Amino acid sequence: MEKNKVTIQDVAKRAGVSITTVSRVMNKNYPVKESTKIKVEKAIEELNFTPNMLARGLIRNKTYTIGVIVPSIANLFFPTVVKGIEHYMKAHGYTIFLSDTEGDAKEERKIITTLMDRQVDGIIIIDPRNENIKNGYLEEVTKKIPLVVINGYSKGIKCHFVLNDQEMGTYDALNYLLECGHKNVAFLRGKDSYSYDLKEKVYYDIHEKHEMVINQENVVIIEDGNSIQTSDLSMAAVMKRLESNNPPSAIFACNDTMAVGAMNGIKKAGLRVPEDVSIIGYDNTMISQLTEPKLTTVDQNMYELGQKSARRLHEIMKDKNESFMRIVLENSLIKRDTVTILNQD
Amino acid sequence: MEKNKVTIQDVAKRAGVSITTVSRVMNKNYPVKESTKIKVEKAIEELNFTPNMLARGLIRNKTYTIGVIVPSIANLFFPTVVKGIEHYMKAHGYTIFLSDTEGDAKEERKIITTLMDRQVDGIIIIDPRNENIKNGYLEEVTKKIPLVVINGYSKGIKCHFVLNDQEMGTYDALNYLLECGHKNVAFLRGKDSYSYDLKEKVYYDIHEKHEMVINQENVVIIEDGNSIQTSDLSMAAVMKRLESNNPPSAIFACNDTMAVGAMNGIKKAGLRVPEDVSIIGYDNTMISQLTEPKLTTVDQNMYELGQKSARRLHEIMKDKNESFMRIVLENSLIKRDTVTILNQD
DNA sequence: TTGAAAGCGCTAACAT
DNA sequence: ATGTTAGCGCTTTCAA
């Protein structure tokens, strides 16, 4: 274990110049005579020198690191978004810090503090807790550091948002179900997140618009909507719902994992998909193409979501006065094989 | 945008003490009079001061950051391992840098350099390119910085390894297939990774042991074994293989994603799983429980793999003279519904 | 074209 | 128990 990391001093000594000169050839920001430049480059090469980013960051007040915060990395949705972010950022010289919140608002705040202590140049937070948006916490953070919020929103809050048009996506999905004759539709959601609230609102609106009464039993909340257990929890919840005396003819699930759990629940209850119960998921993660039958779902274009958000953060980091806006990506219904047309009687 | 970050200077001024004293109450490493301690804590509180980790890291030569390198984060296997790492490390005060290599050996080396420039305290690399193990590169890295290698290995190379007993797992799976009467078994693998090589070796060994000749057509290589396209590539490859005049009665896939792709291929070819073709996957990722029928696979206990590796890295960081060893985790065959007993004739 | 020197924010001897 | 001072490795004035 050779702890003697080679520093700019060593290079300077070897090249017979000052550290200032070494710095200059590294950064190419001041004129250096060709011959000395070559000497220095040779020394760098020979010593295999690479600069200490901590020292550089300390003085430049710029670290070329950003923080990425997700509820859970062990999820089908977030990794692809993270990948989109990472690709863009890496191409621009940034390295990313990744952190899980487990969907806990307090942990989320703690992570943000940690990241700021580490002097990240910016932060992207995916699916933040509603609480931290609505109480103005993220707005305060935005005053201190470039922050992009993915799939979270609240009116009047001054943050830089990148959103999927989940309202439209949900509307399309629910409307399609209605067109197929499904009037008794269960709505599967998780707890406390903008996405769920938004979708639920659309669910209510559609019922209202068509003057249909909502059976509150049809709004079922999964304790943990974004984890390894989600599928099992959804399965159990759906089986319970199907046992009632007015079981739904279709289920709308707020994400594909819940949808797959729901499919399993339907099958376990001895029913068929879609003949007995139709189902639509959300996200268009890879599993939606792997189920049998293939899941009808709504595409969120996760990789692009990550990329666009990274680009947005990059803009904000370059110009701290970028005005606040919502960037809204289109969502589209992917019709596959889990929805059937209901016989109207 | 208030760029005036509050520093230890500000706290010292406000509390009317020296910065040293502030440092002492923060770190609790020297005695401080109770009354001054309270003054300082009050100032810290009021100014909402948190220390600059860059400055601290620079002088302490310890950053409480580690690097985690994966082939692709948009994969079913790696995120869970990463989560295991993150949980352990966060509990010990570390933050993680995450990077994708896209399975490229050169990129892998570049990332390691970047991480070292960022002065990480240690690195965990999952499924590294064989090339970088065998050519001694990772061994060289180990001389400079604590490094744990997950699911990579080469004899005589001095690195700290944490492995799944994929040899045993593969053996159990292949043997089970044999017991069920499958003698014409296709082997689905990706390119250039220790895991694939290891499994393929077992595949050969078993054939030899039972004096069965290997049909080279049965060893099929998927161009990209760990990406979003893997499933589709596997599906295509399997369909092609099934078209031949001696189609296999069973398929062993090196990971679950390939297995699911294979299942889809079998179905698309108009055959049934497992009646016509049996299949075993590897990893026991969540999708193996979501397929219909449920996938028989080998459990790698991914979360634990991450955790144990993080603990191992922690040990190595504490004692740089930790001796080299292989930590081997057990794998176990999970029998579900995709293998049938063949009629012997 | 180059170098000396100040200093980024913090810690850790060394004084007192 | 507290403060003074010297750096950690680098960038960036300012002088020469």
DSSP A29-96: -S---HHHHHHHHHHHHHHT----HHHHHHHHT--SEEEEEES-SSSSSHHHHHHHHHHHHHHTT-EE
Q: What per-residue confidence (pLDDT) applies to B294?
A: 87
Residues 59-78 of B with CB under 7 A from strand C: 59-60
Shared-domain flag, residues B177 and B88: no
Shared-domain flag, residues A250 and A273: yes
Question: Of A222-236, B121-135, B191-205, B313-327, which range is least confident?
Answer: A222-236
Shared-domain flag, residues B307 and B289: no
Q: Which domain holds residue A102?
A: 65-164+302-329
**Angstroms from A213 CA to nearest CA on chain B:** 34
Shared-domain flag, residues B240 and B153: no
List the B56 CA – C11 C1' distance (angstroms): 7
The pLDDT > 90 percentage for chain B reads 84
In terms of Cα–Cα distance, which of A156, A329, A222, A90 is closest to B69? A90
Any strand D atom closer than 7 Å to B11 CB? no
Domain count, chain A: 3
A102: CATH: 3.40.50.2300
Confidence class for position B4, pLDDT limits 50, 70, 90: low
Q: What per-residue confidence (pLDDT) applies to B232?
A: 85
Shared-domain flag, residues B17 and B118: no
Q: What per-residue confidence (pLDDT) applies to A345?
A: 52
Segment A104-112 shows an average pLDDT of: 96
Q: Pick the more confident residue, A311 or B77.
A: A311
Segment B207-227 shows an average pLDDT of: 93
User: How far does Cα B286 stand from its chain's mean position?
Assistant: 16
Residue A116 CB coordination number (10 Å): 18
Q: What per-residue confidence (pLDDT) applies to A85?
A: 98
List b or e across B203-219, with b for residues whose CB sees 16 or more CB atoms inside 10 angstroms. beebbeeeeeeeeeebe
pLDDT at A3 over 60: no
Please provide the average confidence, as pLDDT, over all residues in chain A.
Answer: 93
Confidence class for position A1, pLDDT limits 50, 70, 90: very low
Shared-domain flag, residues A156 and A73: yes
List the A25 CA – D14 C1' distance (angstroms): 19
Q: What per-residue confidence (pLDDT) applies to A212?
A: 94
Segment A259-284 shows an average pLDDT of: 94
pLDDT at B227 over 80: no
pLDDT digits (tens, 9 = 90+) for B249-305: 999 999 999 999 999 899 889 999 999 999 999 999 988 887 878 899 999 999 999
Interface of B with A in 245-264 (CB under 8 A): 260, 264
Q: What per-residue confidence (pLDDT) applies to B231?
A: 85
Nearest to B287 among A65, A114, A287 (CB): A287
Shared-domain flag, residues A250 and A240: yes
Q: Which of B68, B116, B118 to mutate to test the interface with A (most CBs of A within 10 A)?
A: B118
pLDDT at B205 over 90: yes
Q: What per-residue confidence (pLDDT) applies to A337?
A: 94
pLDDT at B69 over 90: yes
Does B59 reside within a domain? Answer: no
Shared-domain flag, residues B175 and B253: yes
Shared-domain flag, residues B286 and B172: yes
Cβ of A58 within 8 Å of Cβ of B54? The answer is: yes
Chain A interface includes B13 (CB < 8 A): no
Residues 6+ apart with CB under 8 A from A279: A250, A251, A252, A253, A259, A262, A263, A266, A273, A295, A296, A338, A339
Confidence class for position B192, pLDDT limits 50, 70, 90: confident
Please provide the average confidence, as pLDDT, over all residues in chain B.
Answer: 93
pLDDT digits (tens, 9 = 90+) for B7-49: 999 999 999 999 999 999 999 888 888 889 999 999 999 999 9
Q: Residue A20, CA: closest nucleotide via C1'? A: C3
Shared-domain flag, residues A43 and A83: no
- List the single residue in A with minimal CA-CA distance to B94: A114
Interface of A with B in 168-227 (CB under 8 A): none
Confidence class for position B204, pLDDT limits 50, 70, 90: very high
